Amino acid sequence: MTGTVLTTRRVDAYHALTVVAPGIAERFRPGHFVSVSVGGPGTSMVTRRALAVHDVKPDYGGTVEFVVAVRGPGTAWLADRRARDTLDLVGPLGRPFPLPRDPVNCVLVGGEYGSATLFALADALQRRHCRVDFVLGAAAADRVFGALRARRVGETTTLTTEDGSLGLRGRVADVLPGVVTDVHADVIYACGPMAMLREVTAVGIDFDIPVQVAVEEAMACGIGVCMTCVLPVIGDDGVTRMVRACADGPVFRGERVRFEDVGTIPFDALGAPGGGGSARHVT
């Protein structure tokens, strides 16, 4: 699907792109992502880049907004886009955040550009009369995304930076227990770097409340066919499987994700080398 860039702007360390893409805007649910072709005609980059959808608006039949952090050549190319350029998009992709049926208290935790995905979620939760509180963190002030909007939208917003340049010095997981206690949180939603998701999940486990995490794994296809984006996740049957972040995620129950084992094949995973572990569970 081709989308036309409507506007671009710098937001602190990030580049925000608003793209006219009615087909995506229409089917979007919070937590979905989109994959974007990068490099233009004749490029040497053969894989798409995954981007969370930050915002969806009804203008021009439907626009989506992305927030891009420049990491390598693909994101650098995206950051160079200008109004009227076209983008080749596939999406919405992945499984969105599950929403609670009842009006519960939700803490939304975002790290770096991971916060971007939380605002559409906050809207959806508030439409269900959930209470929404934010905890946003990053390495430094210019990398905390969405602080103003969080302040506008959430009941409370707690900010952390590792260098102390904004909010409290430290990491989101340092302040999260206090917030969870204060707001009587029933559920945590989190998006950000894997290390942060691990720590946030640990907090949820401590408080015995569910954590929904949107993970980030290097992806080649985004549609579930290449099997490069896998991580070890424990299934309903107690068996660990290497599941696809793109098609089975990116949202998982935090306590099901074996964060310490990401980047490995746990010995007890289904089909792990040696044929040990849960491989026996299978007929």
Q: Which residues bind ligand FAD (CB under 6 A)?
A: 33, 47, 49-52, 66-69, 71-75, 113, 116, 216-220, 250
Of the candidates 223, 225, 224, 190, the residue with the CA atom closest to the CA atom of residue 205: 190
Residues 6+ apart with CB under 8 A from 251: 31, 94, 95, 96, 97, 98, 212, 213, 214, 215
Q: Which is nearer to another protein, 79 or 239 (CB)?
A: 239
Binding residues for ligand FES, rule CB under 6 A, total 14
44 binds a second copy (CB under 8 A): yes
Of the candidates 88, 87, 84, 11, the residue with the CA atom closest to the CA atom of residue 54: 11
Q: Answer positive or negative: Cα dihedral of 173, 175, 177, 180.
A: negative
40 binds a second copy (CB under 8 A): yes
CB of 117 closer than 8 Å to CB of 214: yes
Side by side, the strands of the sheet bearing 105-111 are 168-169, 157-161, 131-138, 105-111, 187-191, 211-214, 251-253
List, in sequence order, every residue forming a beta bridge with 95; answer none if it has no partner. 250
Q: Which does 44 bind (CB under 5 to 8 A by kind): ligand FES, ligand FAD, a second copy, none?
A: a second copy
Q: Which is nearer to ligand FAD, 16 or 179 (CB)?
A: 16
**Shortest distance, CB of residue 214 to another protein, whole angstroms?**
17
Q: Which residues carry a binding-site annotation for FAD?
A: 74-75
Residues 6+ apart with CB under 8 A from 101: 128
Q: Which does 16 bind (CB under 5 to 8 A by kind): ligand FES, another protein, ligand FAD, none?
A: none
Q: Which is nearer to another protein, 185 or 251 (CB)?
A: 251
Q: Which is nearer to a second copy, 76 or 195 (CB)?
A: 76
Which region, judged by CB under 8 A, interacts with a second copy, from 26-34, 36-44, 154-162, 199-207? 36-44
Q: Which residues carry a binding-site annotation for [2Fe-2S] cluster?
A: 221, 226, 229, 246
> Using CA atoms, how far apart are residues 200 and 197, in angstroms rounded to an integer?
5
User: Which of positions 188-247 make contact with ligand FES (CB under 6 A)?
Assistant: 219-222, 224-229, 244-247
**Shortest distance, CB of residue 81 to a second copy, whole angstroms?**
13
Binding residues for a second copy, rule CB under 8 A, total 11
Q: Which of 22, 23, 73, 277 binds a second copy (CB under 8 A)?
A: 73
Q: Which is nearer to another protein, 203 or 231 (CB)?
A: 231
220 binds a second copy (CB under 8 A): no
Tokens of 34: 């989109």
CB of 189 closer than 8 Å to CB of 104: no
Cis, peptide link before residue 96, omega less than 30° from 0: no
Q: Which residues carry a binding-site annotation?
A: 74-75, 221, 226, 229, 246
Tokens of 196: 């942060």
79 binds a second copy (CB under 8 A): no
Residues 6+ apart with CB under 8 A from 202: 173
> Using CA atoms, how far apart are residues 257 and 233, in angstroms rounded to an integer?
5
Q: Which residue has the tokens 């206090």?
A: 178
Q: Which residues bind another protein (CB under 8 A)?
A: 37, 44-48, 90, 217-218, 220-221, 223-231, 241-242, 247, 262-265, 269-273, 275, 279, 282-283
Q: Which residues bind ligand FES (CB under 6 A)?
A: 219-222, 224-229, 244-247
